[in-house]
Copies of this chain bind each other. A is one copy, B any other.
Amino acid sequence: MNNYQNILLAIDFSDYDHYVAQRAKHLSDQFNAHLHIIHVLDNIPMPDTPYGTVIPLNEDSSYDLLEAEKNKLIQISDQLDIAPTRRWMVWGEPQQEITQLAVQEQIDLIVVGSHGRHGLAVLLGSTAKEVLYHAECDVLTVHLRDN
């Protein structure tokens, strides 16, 4: 049985990100895997681009909120030693974008928190069955406590 080779960490900048990120980092170190990171923008206004378009992190934006999100992603990615080519910020529905990116990047393990906007609570919503059931790779749900 092969080790995981490409691990995708899905974060939503909630208070729980740190713990989920540490788990993903720990696993990628343990397996000597490439660590990828995705943040899906589902709560800020979309600029004049096609829905779901990937936003290059090196592109200027006039939206302060977008800049703030970019900076957060860069900061977390730097802390985790994630290569710039493996950082993704995408507009769209979290479950759809996470699953699509996983296929595109040949991810074999997705790591999500049990809470938060990208977490299991959301994934278990109306489209959850389709998403997790049809995900093309393993999914680790990191348990997070509310307190």
Report A's interface with B, CB cutoff 8 A: 1, 3, 22-23, 25-26, 30-31, 114, 120-121, 124, 128-129, 132-133, 135-143
Contact = CB atoms under 8 A, between A and B. Distances in A.
A137 B132 contact: no
Contacts of A140: 138-141
Number of identical protomers: 2
A137 B143 contact: yes
Contact of A22 (B1, B3, B30, B120): B1
B138 A141 contact: yes
Q: Which 3 pairs across A and B sit closest by C-beta, in order of nearness? A: A1-B26, A139-B141, A1-B22
Contacts of A124: 124, 128-129, 132-133
A131 B78 CA distance: 35
A147 B42 CA distance: 35
A25 to B, nearest CB: 8
Contact of A143 (B114, B139, B141, B142): B139
